[in-house]
Amino acid sequence: DTAVSQTPKYLVTQMGNDKSIKCEQNLGHDTMYWYKQDSKKFLKIMFSYNNKELIINETVPNRFSPKSPDKAHLNLHINSLELGDSAVYFCASSQDLLQGDLGYTFGSGTRLTVV
């Protein structure tokens, strides 16, 4: 199936640990994103990559580091996890605007719980 897929779907870990979330899209899109959704459902962009190049890097602790090995993958690594990192993290992708604005395709989310 064509989609944006994230793994894992759920992640429970202790404070201080390091963890990674993986994202892959097989839609042929040029741009990928990471969003964080808090407990009130508010969505905040964290990072955006276009063809493996970082183009958006919002005010995010440097414990968060995105990695894009190719334009179909955008992984998120988090060092020294804190309680406040608990949230749902969404990966998304979009096609270049020159092809028309079709919005984003989202993954199903990774629910991170730090205990």
42 belongs to the binding site for other proteins (CB under 8 A): yes
Q: Which class for 83: exposed (0-12), middle (13-18), buried (19 or more C-beta within 10 A)? A: exposed
Query: Pattern of binders to other proteins over 60-99, x per CB under 8 A?
Result: ------------------------------x-x-x-xx--
Quick count: other Cβ atoms within 10 Å of Cβ 112? 21
Cβ nearer to other proteins, comparing 12 with 15:
12
Residues β-bridged to residue 8: none
Q: Are 88 and 111 in contact (CB under 8 A)?
A: yes
Cβ nearer to other proteins, comparing 11 with 92:
92
Residue 100 Cβ vs other proteins, minimum distance, rounded to whole Å: 8
| Whole-Å CA distances, 15 to 10, 26, 57, 86, 112 | 16, 33, 24, 10, 12
User: Where in 12-31 is the site for other proteins (CB under 8 A)?
Assistant: 31
What residues line the site for other proteins (CB under 8 A)?
4, 31, 33, 40-43, 45, 48, 50, 55-56, 90, 92, 94, 96-97, 101-109
